[in-house]
A and B are shown apart, each in its own frame.
Chain A
Amino acid sequence: MQPTVSQSAAPDYDIGKLSIVKPRHYGRWLAAAAILAILLFIVKAFADGQIAWRVVGQFFTAPAILSGLVNTIAMTVCAMALGITLGVIFAVMAMSPNPVLRGTAVLYIWFFRGTPLILQLLLWFNLALVFPRIGIPDVFSIRTVELITPFVATLLGLGINQGAYTAEVVRSGILSVDSGQTEAASAIGMTRLTALRRIVMPQAMRVIIPPVGNEVISMVKLTSIASVIQYSEILRNAQTIYYANNYVIELLFVAAIWYLAVVTVLSIGQHFLERHFGRGQRKTASAQKTGALT
């Protein structure tokens, strides 16, 4: 620096004595006020409206509602389990070097993605019209109407349909894993299936979990269409009650609150699953570093 430059013109490099002013988020306050006003308006409207909140509270834990809730959850779990199992099997088939397996998988995905879910449910439920008895000829057979209960028809309908979508999700997850991982697995003597199970799938999970998590949440709500084939899930039971007592909105509210509760719990679970399968990734790596290496 040249001595001729005067002291007043030189910038002041010492900011240690200065303090930082907290930014005032006017926009946030404004938005909060507006939203609050709208919320208050809605709450007031419902409070003044023709809703018997007492009935909502009364039926919230009614036995029929709770058993419907259990059925909804049971169906979600079973249908997703079937869907994920089929999804993984058909995704692996779709990527197999065997053309027959590949063709089968393509056909499955084509059919079950290509027809409406409600139609598939009705087909399963009415299977007895096509096959009055099913089983192995001369060994064992059962009347189809006894086998295909509303539960079984719903499970088959939702699970098999879900499998077609999950197959695509799983396939994209597998494709997302670098081919070098499979080659390295082969190089240490793994067979194709072992490499898939030990190396590729665990890494594909990171890509697979978020969409499958979404699908579980959709499934919770999708089970409600099973009411068309008399499966007693929560919405159907709520309807049965309001046909009798005419508290339509109240019972729909009861069901809505339960759906929200279940979905909230599931979303939290999804968050932890994603964290588990994200291990070894750059983003989580720094957090683990401090813990794992001292």
Chain B
Amino acid sequence: MTGAAPMLVARNLTKQFGSFTALQDVSLDISPGEVLCIIGPSGSGKSTFLRCLNQLERLDGGAVWIDGELIGYRRVGDKLHPLSDAEVARQRLATGMVFQRFNLFQHMTALQNIVEGPITVQKRPRAEVMAEALALLDRVGLADKRDAYPAQLSGGQQQRVAIARALAMKPKLMLFDEPTSALDPELVGEVLAVMRGLAGSGMTMIVVTHELGFAREVGHRVVFMDRGAVVEAGSPQQILSNPQQARTRDFITAVLN
């Protein structure tokens, strides 16, 4: 978290939905290996922020660089040319995304979900991909579920497969959008355990979460967002135990009770 070139730079991100401003001038940098947790009330723009980072939403203002590469545009002199569908798809390989509602491919087994990207998109050799996928399934504790369809898995198991699917692409940066919010309380722990392990392995992660315990324990930095803007950012200790802003304090009190 020191000195090294940032993994991600987001400058003055702005996003409008019609006349509604979902993101207003959001700037954030993330260093390699850093785990950044984003907290904030519903509708504050946390998902929108993540979706702008991997271009599921198009920005109305500002710019994002991932590992030094400008996202969504090619710069020619003083002009920015929007990238084509294929070029955007290639840039998305730098980020892995884990969704609140898992979004596993319903017609594929756990193993097929994991190997789909490396084989179809990255065109890597099948045997090699299979071996890695089995190792990933093992890592998320689901080696015995390789042939199960998503509909046969619990929410926690589906989310762990989804994490393995994202990791199979070997991304530089992992984005988690409330990965445990759709889970029954007793299943939250198994997913957080996988994420904790991932953070321990040095993965750069941005995690939108309501799990303040996870943010405190695993996060290197916590950002509080409200109404499309960053209200306060700092160490987990600062933000969670000693927030400076009234809005942050109110939110944390509300979540803890």
Q: A and B bound?
A: yes
* Residue among A194, A199, A280, A285 with most chain B CB within 10 A: A280
Contact call A289/B117, Cβ cutoff below 8 A: no
With a cutoff of 8 Å between Cβ atoms, the chain B residues found around residue A184 in the complex are: 97, 99, 103-105, 162
Query: For the complex, is B150 an interface residue (Cβ under 8 Å from A)?
Result: yes
Question: Can you name the residue of chain B whose Cβ is closest to the Cβ of A194?
Answer: B120
Give the docked Cα–Cα distance between A108 and B162 (Å).
40
Task: Pick from B82-90, B124-132, B208-216, B231-239 the stretch touching chain A.
Answer: B82-90
B residues contacting the other copy or chain, number (CB 8 A): 37
Within residues 121 to 166 of chain B, which ones have a CB less than 8 A from any CB in chain A? 121-122, 144-145, 147-152, 162, 165-166
Q: A184-B104, A293-B144 are in contact. Are A189 and B93 (CB under 8 A)?
A: yes
Interface residues of A in 171-230 (CB under 8 A from B): 178, 180-181, 183-192, 194, 198-199, 202-203
| Interface residues in A, total, Cβ within 8 A | 28
Q: Does A18 contact B (CB under 8 A)?
A: no
Asked whether, in the complex, the Cβ of A189 is within 8 Å of the Cβ of B103, the reply is: no
Residue numbers in A under 8 Å from B106 (CB-CB): 181, 203, 280-281
CA distance A104 to B107 in the complex (A): 32
Total A-B contacts with CB atoms under 8 angstroms apart: 90
CB–CB B107/A280 < 8 A: yes
Q: Are A186 and B108 in contact (CB under 8 A)?
A: no
Across the interface, name the chain B residue whose C-beta is closest to A178. B103
Indicate the member of A189, A198, A279 with the most B CB atoms within 10 Å. Answer: A189
Decide: A187 and B56 in contact? CB cutoff 8 A.
yes
The winner among A181, A184, A285 for most chain B CB atoms within 10 A is A184
With the chains together, A180 CA to B104 CA distance in Å? 9
Minimum CB–CB distance for B80 against chain A, Å: 20
Assess whether B228 is interfacial by the CB under 8 Å rule: no
Our pick among B89, B103, B117, B147 for the contact of A293 (Cβ within 8 Å) is: B147
| B149 contacts A188, C-beta separation under 8 Å | no
- Taking a contact as CB atoms closer than 8 A, the residue among B86, B105, B116 that contacts A191 in the complex is B86
Q: Kindly list chain A residues whose C-beta atoms are within 8 Å of the C-beta of B86.
A: 191
Minimum CB distance partner of A292 in chain B: B147
Query: In the bound complex, what is the Cα–Cα distance between A288 and B153 (angstroms)?
Result: 13
- Given the known interface contacts A190-B89, A194-B120, A279-B107, the answer about A183 and B151 at a Cβ–Cβ threshold of 8 Å is no
Where the two chains meet, the residues of A that have a C-beta atom closer than 8 Å to any C-beta of B are: 178, 180-181, 183-192, 194, 198-199, 202-203, 277, 279-282, 285, 288-289, 292-293
Q: List 24 A-B contacts (CB under 8 A).
A: A181-B103, A181-B105, A183-B99, A186-B56, A187-B54, A187-B56, A187-B92, A187-B95, A187-B166, A188-B117, A188-B166, A189-B90, A189-B122, A190-B121, A192-B85, A194-B120, A198-B120, A280-B106, A280-B108, A282-B151, A288-B152, A293-B147, A293-B148, A293-B152
